[in-house]
Chains A and B, each alone.
Chain A
């Protein structure tokens, strides 16, 4: 690829105050517009890595560079947590308004963008609802709409659908793919589900624990657009098996 990568991790490591080595020697390049999954067992540091990319945690060693973004981390990064992480006292519309409000944009100016973000996740009718009135899947959609409202160049997702039931999860996976295809942001998606990583991403970074590190960088081959047929194809199963094998290899040490 001729273009500079959007994110370049070199020798990134994290040691916590207690002496726990959470991550060591992580090198990776993330291309602009790509969909990359981080897969690994609990404690492999995948969430830590994502938070470091977001700037919420400082690496103890190594560097995270943004060559294709002028070197600096972009100010707008969308982040979606495992829980919807909504403000329970605020209506859906005000939850989505939050990132814009914090930048000093008035609600009047923000409203068209909020409604557009809501429409993209299919919740236009629920702008005035409170989070507790929504189902788990709907809350997650609100959370995604909030991440989208700033039109971020990068979307970081930390096991966003892990707490949802299988059916809702597959539906949201498809919606996410559709959004990604139309917007072409860069998505980094943390999951512990091998199937989800293969279904969604162009590349899977397989991670191992103790200490957390990247074991393998596996490209996924899939038809475009992906759908039900891909989920049930032998190609899909084969690639899942490959990643599972890489995970087992890592667990052996």
Chain B
């Protein structure tokens, strides 16, 4: 890709965004749309500034739970995948339950987890719920990656008398890295979704994350603040996605096909 087309990739979406905001602002003013139906972008920005302190506090709470849940999902999903790759019996015994956890809608499990953990430990409940949503893509991708190591390379390792541990660390884990990173990219977004859903389920008064701010602002018909919180959630999701994409690119750029840009 050459310089000018790379520039276009940045400029065009920004121009579209600005045009959209202008159209929005203009329509709200021209048609006199009421604030509690659709606030103008400038009004949302104003609300963001006015509520900056409380919104940032909430952002931090949501961010913290998302990050911890994501981290635990990497450890749990990756660890379980390694276990599965080492023992067919364990995989056979546990994998169906991992699938059940994944396919059961999180919003349906949330009340149960909240009761079990207790309403005085809401943060822990949020963490568990976000983890349940986030761990599966890492588990299934890493399992696939660990089993996808080149069979001839495996034979070569056997030929040189490699131990199981050496095969795991020198062959299977490096082979699984691109798969695991792809899983992590999905899980990062899911951890945020899990946190938000869990916050909604936990209800008001017990947790003060961004989702709760949205519920609270909605109850008070403070729609500009609702949009402001929504904006912060989107920015958070975008940051997580691009952060993980950057990690993926920097880890794989030297060797993996997915990260190599070809001259044409």
Contact residues of A with B, CB < 8 Å? 51, 54-56, 75, 77, 79, 81, 83, 85, 87-90, 98-99, 101-103, 130-132, 150
Determine how close the nearest CB of chain B comes to the CB of A106; give it in whole angstroms: 15
Residues 236-264 of B at the A interface (beta carbon under 8 Å): 254-257, 260
Interface presence of B22 (CB below 8 A): no
B103 contacts across to A, CB distance below 8 A: none
Interface presence of B164 (CB below 8 A): no
Interface presence of B158 (CB below 8 A): yes
A85 contacts across to B, CB distance below 8 A: 150, 152-153, 156
Quick check: A87 and B159 within 8 Å, CB to CB? no
Given A85-B150, A85-B152, A89-B177, decide whether A102 and B162 contact each other with a Cβ distance below 8 A.
yes
Given A79-B156, A81-B152, decide whether A87 and B161 contact each other with a Cβ distance below 8 A.
no
In the bound complex, what is the Cα–Cα distance between A85 and B159 (angstroms)? 14
Interface presence of B160 (CB below 8 A): yes
Determine how close the nearest CB of chain B comes to the CB of A247; give it in whole angstroms: 27
A99 contacts across to B, CB distance below 8 A: 160
Quick check: A103 and B160 within 8 Å, CB to CB? yes
Number of interface residues of B (CB under 8 A): 21
Given A98-B170, A101-B170, A102-B166, decide whether A88 and B155 contact each other with a Cβ distance below 8 A.
no
21 cross-chain CB contacts under 8 A? A54-B159, A55-B159, A56-B158, A81-B152, A83-B152, A85-B150, A85-B152, A85-B156, A88-B256, A89-B177, A89-B255, A89-B256, A90-B174, A101-B170, A102-B157, A102-B162, A103-B160, A130-B255, A131-B255, A132-B255, A132-B257
Q: Is the interface of B mostly helix, strand, loop or mixed?
A: helix
Contact residues of B with A, CB < 8 Å? 150, 152-153, 155-162, 166, 170-171, 174, 177, 254-257, 260
Quick check: A56 and B174 within 8 Å, CB to CB? no
What total count of A-B pairs have CB within 8 Å?
49
Given A87-B171, A130-B254, A130-B255, decide whether A56 and B150 contact each other with a Cβ distance below 8 A.
no
B161 contacts across to A, CB distance below 8 A: 75, 102-103
Q: Which residue of chain A is the closest to B174 with respect to CB atoms?
A: A89
Q: Which residue of chain A is the closest to B163 with respect to CB atoms?
A: A102
B255's partner among A55, A88, A98 (CB-CB below 8 A) is A88
Quick check: A132 and B260 within 8 Å, CB to CB? yes
A102 contacts across to B, CB distance below 8 A: 157, 160-162, 166, 170
Quick check: B153 and A87 within 8 Å, CB to CB? yes
In the bound complex, what is the Cα–Cα distance between A85 and B160 (angstroms)? 15
Determine how close the nearest CB of chain A comes to the CB of B162; give it in whole angstroms: 5
In the bound complex, what is the Cα–Cα distance between A88 and B166 (angstroms)? 17
Quick check: B155 and A56 within 8 Å, CB to CB? yes
In the bound complex, what is the Cα–Cα distance between A131 and B257 (angstroms)? 12
B155 contacts across to A, CB distance below 8 A: 51, 56, 79
B256 contacts across to A, CB distance below 8 A: 88-89
7 tightest A-B CB contacts, nearest first: A85-B152, A102-B160, A89-B174, A88-B255, A81-B152, A89-B255, A102-B162
